[in-house]
């Protein structure tokens, strides 16, 4: 219908831009450029791509999409993250007074491939922050909005890569803390490093992949064991870890990250992280299946024990299933026996 849109565009090197349109009083809309770092020809092609998506009604407020776009730039095909939104205060006004025709915006970020999809949630959060801070006065655009748009790659895509490069072989302890929901305290770090570590822990945890109740119980259990909180001291060139845990599973995956560091591709690191979580979930599901069998079969109980011993992450898996099976007497008995075996 009658609406206006803002378009942003980013270069393949990971910088960015944005744009605004004023809606004519017809059923159509117009797109006008606010900011970009694309060449003029490629910007026109991108605008045409976004206009088609808008015409089809394929852009929902605040929900980003990722697609491959053909543009007249050396890369030819690039991955494009695009998101439609309104200013936070104007969105509220439009809800209250339906006849207000508040301007709408589309921000686009371009990278070398469609792998931006692995960072879609991070980019959605990035746009949320832009919504709150956006003010279309030219002064605000130059001082706040444009610099914010241009730093999207560094701020939303690179934190995992920076953490891998900072921690190197100590990354296993960070992966272990994320999997086991161990509280982590960061000391003497600059703001960006502290944020990067926090983002890495969030991205490496199984939040959203295990039951919500399990996660809450694990968090409570680990927080109560205060002596097990991990402390990261960033006062030196290399972070120093205190009360750090690790296991063979995390050590093996740490090696995959360190090996990937040579190429320096942030999308590769994210893919490794997703594979790490997928393997952890598979191991949890396998253990749960063995526990169900072990309730009636002693041989299956021995299979449980062998699995825990050989998977490299028995310490964490036992904690997770213990919390999940707390209300099931038979399964709880199996877990208790497994704990005794593992201790011995």
Entry pTM: 0.81
Q: Where are the domains of the chain?
A: 32-88+101-136, 165-343
Structure tokens at 113: 């491939």
Low-confidence ranges of the chain (pLDDT < 50): 1-13, 15, 17-27
pLDDT at residue 82, rounded to an integer: 92
pLDDT at residue 190, rounded to an integer: 95
Structure tokens at 217: 């119980």
The 10s digit of each residue's pLDDT in 101-126 is 677 889 999 986 656 678 888 899 89
339 closest CA partner among 311, 312, 301, 297: 301
* Cβ contacts of 22 within 8 Å, gap of 6 or more: 4, 30, 32, 103
* CA-CA-CA-CA dihedral for 72, 73, 77, 79, to nearest 10: -120
pLDDT at residue 139, rounded to an integer: 59
pLDDT at residue 144, rounded to an integer: 81
């Amino acid at each position: 219908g009658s609406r206006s849109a803002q378009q942003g565009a980013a270069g393949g090197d990971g910088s960015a831009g944005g744009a605004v349109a004023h809606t004519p009083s017809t059923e159509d809309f117009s797109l006008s450029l606010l900011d970009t770092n694309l060449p003029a020809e490629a910007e026109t092609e991108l605008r045409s791509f976004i206009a088609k998506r808008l015409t089809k009604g394929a852009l929902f407020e605040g929900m980003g999409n990722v697609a491959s776009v053909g543009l007249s730039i050396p890369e030819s095909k690039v991955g494009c993250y695009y998101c439609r939104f309104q200013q936070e205060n104007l969105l509220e006004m439009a809800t209250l007074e339906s006849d207000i025709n508040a301007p709408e915006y589309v921000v686009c970020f371009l990278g070398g491939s469609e792998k931006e999809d692995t960072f879609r949630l991070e980019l959605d959060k990035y746009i949320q922050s832009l919504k709150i801070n956006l003010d279309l006065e030219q002064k605000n655009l130059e001082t706040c909005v444009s610099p914010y748009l241009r730093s999207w790659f560094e701020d939303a895509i690179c934190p995992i890569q920076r953490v891998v490069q900072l921690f190197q072989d100590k990354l296993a302890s960070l992966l272990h803390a994320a999997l086991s929901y161990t509280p982590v305290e960061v000391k003497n770090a600059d703001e960006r490093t502290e944020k990067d570590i926090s983002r890495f822990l969030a991205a490496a945890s199984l939040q959203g992949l295990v039951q919500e109740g399990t996660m809450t119980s694990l968090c409570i259990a680990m927080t109560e064991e205060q002596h097990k909180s991990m402390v990261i001291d960033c006062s030196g060139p290399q972070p120093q870890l205190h009360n750090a845990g690790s296991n063979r599973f995390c050590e093996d995956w740490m090696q995959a990250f360190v090996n990937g560091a040579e190429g320096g591709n942030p999308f590769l690191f994210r893919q490794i992280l997703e594979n790490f979580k997928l393997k952890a979930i598979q191991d949890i599901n396998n253990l749960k299946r063995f526990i169900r069998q072990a309730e009636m079969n002693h041989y299956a109980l021995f299979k449980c024990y062998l699995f825990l011993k050989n998977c490299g992450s028995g310490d964490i898996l036992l904690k997770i299933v213990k919390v999940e099976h707390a209300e099931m007497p038979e399964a709880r008995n199996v877990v208790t026996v497994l704990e005794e075996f593992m201790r011995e």
